[in-house]
Chain A
Amino acid sequence: MSSLNFSPRVPVIDANVCVGNHHTGPSPCQSPAQLLEEMDFHGVRRAVIYHAQGEQISPTDGNMYLEDWLDEDGRLIPQWTVAPVDTSMTQIAELHGQGRVTSARLHDCQSAGLPFLPWGYDDLLSFLTEAGIPLWIPLMEVDVRDLVTTLKAYPDLHTVLVGAHYTHALVVRGLLEASPRAVLELSRYEPIGEVEALVDRFGADRFIYGSWYPRYAMGPILFYLHHTRMSEEELAQICAGNTERLLGLTEGT
């Protein structure tokens, strides 16, 4: 049963946090310290962060700005935005060579006319697969038909499908069926009872907590996950364990 105040019972990694100012407006957090304070308020130990400029403006510049957000104690885990263009491919290869890449995030190329299909993404997806780097894919930025085709073409690529909404209710199961290595991030997925139903169907290892802060508040989905009929073990997997596994992290790294 809930109370007027909430704190998570298990360790939490927020797997989907955007930092920096988007081109359409400022972020409520203007510094790492402000973001860490927000995380502390909601009981979030660590967060996977990418830069807002990487979404639709420039993946390479976004990654450059992301450097300013990396704290010394490692609570903010960088996620590097990528696109199938030379500048981005060169940058991600260099970062990987430095041992700094634990995940990547897809830049929006669909709105510039490039569908998410193997003919446009082979070099990038082959590199990520070979390097064992998981790719976060915002669902509103790809056509689901293309996504299924591409997930099937790269069966060894680990992916996190980000931002499923109730308007994706008809496709979520199909996407998870299409790629056994796909994991669903839960920041926007609110159809009634669906988290429990999906965990029953696919297992807790296919889902991760993310808030997509500051697009969405950090607390509500975390509160939701703590008020389901999932076991404590499943809750711990979704709130942190699965993200640690995807990123190759161990506690304290």
Chain B
Amino acid sequence: MIDGTRVIDYHGHVGRWERYGMVDDPELLLGAMDAVGIDIACLFHIFHPDGTTGNDLTARFVARNPDRFVGFAYVSPTMPERMVPELERAIDKLGFPAIKLYPPYTPWPFNEEPWHPIYEFAQDRGLAIIFHTDHFINSRPRYFEDLAPAYPRVNFVSAHCGNVPEARAEAIAAAQKYPNVYLETCSTYRTPGVIEELVEKGGADRVLYGSDMPLMDPRPQIGKIITARISDEAKRMALGENAARLLGI
């Protein structure tokens, strides 16, 4: 908790990527979370295209600290026959409340046909989907303008908010047009004024704090919110209230 606000980190990973210092040691994650008052972290495993392998690892990780971690389902259109059955398993049996997608690990922009069975599934269930977004062709936030009106029961979350100014502008434009588009803040780019821009142009009710932990420490990432020139009310919404609404908790 930070000043009475439950803090939810909407972007984290299970899995190891040691060459970049990423180790999913629960004690490391919890230590960093506790140091700044992060109550809950949403985690997903994106390194296995079958979905099942990573989702099981996520479920196992979450089960050790179920009051601190929430698992998201991951699937890939590179194994299309596995997508919907694995989503059914991850949502219904593992209890995951949302979906993570990673377009750079596929050949397709995320508005193209191979992805749509996932969106139809999420539309049926009214789920949120968090997408890696950036300025490369597969991951452009402008695709939300195709998807958001077509799947109005899905909440689309632009992870990293596109990372760079051109893509960030696309994410903000989509959020301005559609109420089911959200802007998530983690990025190795900590450009001055970005949080202020998201709040002012996208709306404080659309901004979600995320860290990308354990690839990155959640403390400087939450520091972006705390040290931004935005109101305390906007900070509370970004730090947890918006995520709680999306997660239904």
Contact = CB atoms under 8 A, between A and B. Distances in A.
A193 interface: yes
A190 B217 CA distance: 5
A6 B226 CA distance: 7
Interface in B196-229: 213-224, 226-229
B224 A217 contact: yes
A188 B219 contact: no
A174 to B, nearest CB: 14
Contacts of A228: 35, 219
A223 B213 CA distance: 17
A188 B223 contact: no
Given A4-B2, A213-B192, A191 B21 contact: yes
Contacts of B53: none
Q: Majority SS of interface residues in chain A? A: loop
Interface stretch (A72-80, A85-93, A164-172, A235-243): A164-172
A28 B229 CA distance: 14
Contacts of B22: 166, 191-192
Interface in A146-167: 165-167
Contacts of A4: 2-3, 5, 226, 232, 235-236
Interface of B: 2-3, 5, 19-23, 28-29, 31-32, 35-37, 188-194, 213-224, 226-229, 232, 235-236
Interface of A: 1-6, 28, 41-42, 165-167, 169-170, 188, 190-195, 213-224, 227-229
24 contacts: A1-B36, A2-B37, A3-B3, A4-B5, A4-B226, A4-B232, A5-B226, A41-B229, A191-B216, A192-B216, A192-B218, A193-B28, A193-B217, A194-B21, A195-B217, A215-B191, A217-B191, A219-B223, A223-B222, A223-B227, A224-B217, A227-B35, A228-B219, A229-B31
